[in-house]
Amino acid sequence: MKPLFEFFIKLFILSLVLWGVIYSGLKPGSVDYGSVFVAWAMVASNTAIGYLLFEYALDKSSAEFTRFVFGGLVVRLLILMLIIAVVLLKDLVVINDFVFSFFAFYCIYVIVEILGYQRKNKQKKNSA
């Protein structure tokens, strides 16, 4: 199976598991699911974009790889901070639910992103 497809399948399965835990583990009415969904959507799209940038930059020169991966990381974080600021300032979400779920999702999804990088590097080394 191609690593890109495999990564997105794992991301999808992880999302299903996390949403299952959220729905079954929390009492109804104890959390604003809309706020949790906004946090999840932001983090999941950030992870997907990060992995796509890594895939694109992997076969490039070292300078281009660094520019795409680390420059992309900086741009993604700046965009996330801007979106978070807008969401919080416009009171579009319940702040406590949003912030807690954002950090929880971010910690989980960044691990998945890093593991995807490692797996792709390992496959590249094995094929070389």
Tens-place pLDDT, residues 61-91: 999 999 999 999 999 999 999 999 999 999 9
pTM, entire model = 0.88
Give domain limits for the chain: 3-22+32-123
CA–CA dist 53, 57 (Å, integer): 6
- Residues with Cβ < 8 Å from 103, sequence gap 6 or more? none
Q: Low-confidence residues of the chain, pLDDT below 70?
A: 1, 3, 128
Q: Extract the tokens encoding 112.
A: 């998945």
Backbone angles phi, psi at 58, to 5 degrees: -60, -40
pLDDT (0 to 100) of residue 1: 55
